[in-house]
Amino acid sequence: MSLLAGQILNGIATGMLYALMGLGLSLITGILNIPNFAHGALFAVGAYLLVTLVGAIGNFWIGLVVAPLGVALLGLLIEYAGIRRLYAAGHDYQLLFTFGLSLILAEGIILIWGPVGISHLPPAILRGGMDLGFTFYPKYRLFVMVVAGLLVAATWLFLEKTRYGAIMRAGIENKEMVSLLGIDIHRLFTAAFALGAYLAGIAGALTAPIRGLSPGMGVDMLGIAFVVVALGGLGNLLGAIAAGLLIGVAQAVVAAYWTEASTVVIYAVMAAVLLVRPQGLFGIR
Amino acid sequence: MSKLERRDILKIGALAATGLAFPAIVRAQSKEIVILGLWDQTGAFADVGPLNDRGMRMALEERDMKVLGRPIRYVTRDGATQAGEGARFIVGPWSSGVALAVSEVAKRKKVVHLFSGGTEDISGSRCHRYSFQWAASPYTAAKTVVDNFMKANPKAKRWHLLVADYAFGWSVEKYVKEVGKTHGIEFVGADRHPLGEREFSNYVQKAAANKPDVVAMINFGGDAVAGAREIFNFGLTPKLPLIMSWSSGVEELVQLAPEIRDNLWVGTNFYYTADTPVAKSFVKSYQAKFKLPPGYAPSAAYSMTRMLLAGFDKAKSDDVQAVVKALEGLEMNDIVGPMRVDGATHQTLRPYFFLRCKPKAAMKHELDFADVVATGDAPLPKEYAACKDIGSF
């Protein structure tokens, strides 16, 4: 029983990270109509920036704040200097652009940080674990669970309760109408991409001490992020959160009883849900 | 602007997964000897392929890209792509699963194939005249690791295993359990994980629940690194010892912080402080070029290539069957020390290394990861040998 409880805790921690990834991707895909293949690479850049910053200034907390902002800035540049120029060229070109970008970013990581992976320990205060009664659990994972949970909640509140969030949601529903109402749609696109990149960047930064860093780390995450978007329903933010948690917990619980299947369960859950609800958990299209 | 549908995303994902196709290799000119290095550029070992390539290049360059007085043309291709036209000598790939398929092709097309990896089938149940195994037999590895670990930790009788779920993991697991019997080891758990697993928290919690004396991992590369990191994060190491039974050595150890390496025991096919003349000169020139000392991957490619070239020298010919005959029974004093290719199975008989990692305070420099505690070269006993008859050409 305590094993199952521990596994569910693991599932929630990883599920929160999946939700952050899925939320960002869902936002970008929903508003810009582009499946952002560079989303995994942005996740990796977030992790590498964190480790570099912590190495340079010796402070994890500053690194955790600044690194995702760096990724958001990168996202802003990608949209402003790249994707924006391709709106006229059509959908396929934007898709190829993000795909190419993912390769460039991964190779860029190899050029700057080398092909061999890196370990990064959590800050001293979050090292080691604590006894929760039913299981011994690493402090850093509990920290990730809380921070990721707060970020997911903050993003959701921003999108649901603020004026700008309402514009973004409107952008997902109907871009033509939004631009007819006198809103600068291009600024909206840039902001959405930057916000999505920020969420990928902070997911990467938070993951660094857990999974370590390697140039291919983004590829592993990209597939999962797409599953979260498909499962949650395209452009559906609540769906992305629920799907992230569902996959994380399913993966952890299955691993408790049938370890060989712990990866395939991600895709099995997706297939099962899509068979019953082709539009995703909460999706409308 | 048209709306993107969920179905489109699924289609695009499938398209991305199929990857890119590469053109077939250009046919060789008759004077050249074409040697193909099949090194992974995609998939789970994409990070290893470039390292293999480095080692192989160095072995060819130290001979000025020549053998039998003729120029060598070195062609390298991804392990997952179609390759073959023109090349009659293949080294690689790194993945055991793919290598078994390549070995089948080598048999059918009658080309020489050198491989290093953890599947025992190439020199076992699927042995034939054209494929050769450079890595130690999984039995040799298991015997070296278990015997020497128990010598240092005689009370650690409760073992929990974490095994990569493919050909290599199964082979080593089988022999760790066999050798374990002779020490009265109780295997309190043995979980298999998919290749490329990055989320080890679930496995570590299960391992901890079994209250083992030691956790032994039989996995490789990124899997082993992710596993070791999580076992540390959950507070199992350094209280409990952790064994990596079939490690790449340097490339894995450098990815782990010194704190994570505390009480870590490592079995490997090569470690850079190996006290042999060939290793010393190879490590020196490799390190001068690439800073980090070579681990198992570049070293295996280097040594396999030297083995192949020694086969040409001995055969005095580039005829495939003559080279095969020359390789059978070939003896060399190479990077790992004395090695001999068993003609009956095509298994290389050679020492396997067992290391103990140093605590941070004992490290003399940042690459001073471990001491070689022991080496072992016990060959696979006859009763386990699955290669009964290697057959004819």
Kindly report the three-state secondary structure assignment for every residue of chain B: CCCCCHHHHHHHHHHHHHCCCCCCCCCCCCCCEEEEEECCCCHHHCCCHHHHHHHHHHHHHCCCCEECCEEEEEEEECCCCCCCCCCCEEECCCCHHHHHHHHHHHHHHCCEEEECCCCCCCCCCCCCCCEEECCCCHHHHHHHHHHHHHHHCCCCCEEEEEEECCHHHHHHHHHHHHHHHCCCCEEEEEEEECCCCCCCHHHHHHHHHCCCCEEEEECCCHHHHHHHHHHHHCCCCCCCCEEEEEECCHHHHCCCCHHHHCCEEEEECCCCCCCCHHHHHHHHHHHHHHCCCCCHHHHHHHHHHHHHHHHHHHHCCCCHHHHHHHHCCCEEEECCEEEEECCCCCEEECCEEEEEECCHHHCCCCCCCEEEEEEECCCCCHHHCCCCCCCCC
pLDDT value, residue A101: 94
- Domain presence at residue A282: no
Asked if the model's pLDDT at residue A147 lies above 60, the reply is yes
Place of tokens 């974490």: B162
User: How many other C-beta atoms are found inside a 10 Å radius of the C-beta of residue B334?
Assistant: 23
Residue A282 clears pLDDT 80, i.e. is over it: no
| Chain centroid, CA B362 distance in Å | 28
Q: Output the CA torsion B281→B283→B285→B290 (10° steps).
A: 180
**Terminal C-alpha separation, chain A:** 40
Q: How many CA atoms lie within 13 A of B39 on its CB side?
A: 23
CATH 3.40.50.720 is right for the domain spanning B138-269+352-383: no
Is the pLDDT at A255 greater than 90, yes or no?
no
Minimal-distance CA residue of chain A relative to B221 = A117
Closest Cβ opposite residue A216 in set B1, B46, B191: B46
Helix axes A185-211, A139-161, angle to 10 degrees: 170
In the predicted model, what is the mean pLDDT of residues A235-246? 89
> Mean of the pLDDT values across residues A241-257?
91
Higher pLDDT, A175 or A275: A275
Asked whether residue A284 is assigned to any structural domain, the reply reads: no
Closest-CA residue to B350 (of B294, B300, B287, B314): B300
Q: Is the pLDDT of residue B85 over 70?
A: no
Task: Specify whether the CB–CB gap between B334 and B251 falls below 8 A.
Answer: no
Which own/partner contact pairs does B197-200 have at CB distance under 8 Å and 24+ positions apart?
B197/A262, B197/A263, B197/B223, B197/B226, B197/B227, B198/A211, B198/A217, B198/A220, B198/B222, B198/B226, B199/A10, B199/A14, B199/A211, B199/A251, B199/A255, B199/A262, B199/B226, B200/B226, B200/B227, B200/B229, B200/B230, B200/B231
In this prediction, residue B119 carries a pLDDT of: 85
Segment A70-86 shows an average pLDDT of 93
Pick the residue with more confidence: B243 or B80?
B243
pLDDT score of B80:
54
Taking only the tens place, the pLDDT of each residue in A7-27 is 899 999 999 999 999 999 999
Full-model pTM: 0.85
- Cβ–Cβ < 8 Å for A105, A41: yes
Quote the pLDDT of residue B25.
Answer: 44
Kindly tell me the sign of the dihedral angle through the C-alpha atoms of A55, A58, A59, A60.
positive
pLDDT at A153: 92
- The chain-wide mean pLDDT, for chain B, equals 89
pLDDT per residue as tens digits for the range B19-51: 333 334 444 445 889 999 999 887 778 788 889
pLDDT over 90 for what percent of chain B? 77
Lowest mean pLDDT among A232-236, B191-195, B286-290: A232-236
Q: Which positions ≥6 away from B388 have C-beta within 8 Å? A: none
* pLDDT digit string, tens, across residues B335-353: 999 999 999 999 999 999 9
A234 versus A40: the higher-pLDDT residue is A40
Confidence at residue A245, expressed as pLDDT on a 0 to 100 scale:
94
Higher pLDDT, residue A260 or B219? B219
**Per-residue pLDDT averaged across A44-58, rounded?**
95
pLDDT over 70 (residue B1): no
Residue A134 resides in a domain: yes
- pLDDT in the model for residue A94: 86
Query: Which pLDDT belongs to residue B115?
Result: 96
A279 touching B (Cβ < 8 Å): yes
**Look-up: residue for tokens 């008859």?**
B389
Going from N- to C-terminal start, the domains of chain B cover 138-269+352-383
Residue of chain B whose Cα is closest to the Cα of A223: B13
Q: What is the pLDDT of residue B2?
A: 44
Q: Which residue has the higher pLDDT, A172 or B259?
A: B259
Q: How much is the pLDDT for B44?
A: 73
Rounded Cα distance, A4 and A10, in Å: 10
Angle between the N-to-C axes of helices A2-32 and A237-257, in degrees from 0 to 180, rounded to the nearest 10: 150
Query: Percentage of chain A surpassing pLDDT 70?
Result: 99
What digits encode the pLDDT tens for the residues B307-339? 999 999 999 999 999 999 999 999 999 999 999
Query: How close, in Å, is residue A53 to chain B by CA atoms?
Result: 17
User: Looking at residue B46, what is its pLDDT?
Assistant: 79
Cα(A50)–Cα(B212) distance, integer angstroms:
35
Residues of A in contact with B50 (CB under 8 A): 115
**pLDDT reading at B140 higher than 80:** yes
Nearest to B13 among A212, A226, A283 (CB): A226
> Which two tokens mark A169?
């949601």
Minimal C-alpha gap between A56 and chain B (Å): 17
Interface contact flag, A10 B201, Cβ < 8 Å? yes
**CB < 8 Å from B in window 199-238 of A:** 209-212, 214-217, 220, 223, 226, 229-230, 233-234
CB contact under 8 A, A119 and B225: yes
Q: What is the pLDDT of residue B20?
A: 36
Using 50, 70 and 90 to split pLDDT, how confident is the model at A134?
Answer: confident
- Domain holding A94, by residue range, is 2-276
With beta carbons under 8 A apart, name residues in chain A contacting B196. 220, 263
Contacts of A87 in chain B (CB under 8 A): 1
**CATH number of the domain enclosing A205:** 1.10.3470
In-domain check, residue A120: yes
CA pair distance B244, B150, nearest whole angstrom? 14
Q: How far apart are CA A156 and CA A242, in angstroms?
A: 12
Section B264-278 average pLDDT:
96
Do B9 and A280 lie within an 8 Å CB cutoff? no
Q: Do A3 and B206 touch (CB under 8 A)?
A: yes
pLDDT for A276 equals: 86
Closest CA to A247 of A3, A5, A17: A17
Confidence of residue A284 (pLDDT cuts 50, 70, 90): low
Q: Answer whether B47 sits within 8 Å of A116, measured CB to CB.
A: yes
Q: Which residue of A has its CA nearest to B19?
A: A99
User: Between chains, do A34 and B4 touch, taking CB under 8 Å as contact?
Assistant: yes
Residue among B94, B91, B168 nearest B132 (CA):
B91
Overall domain count for chain A = 1
User: Tokens standing for B99?
Assistant: 């290598």
Higher pLDDT, A137 or B59: B59
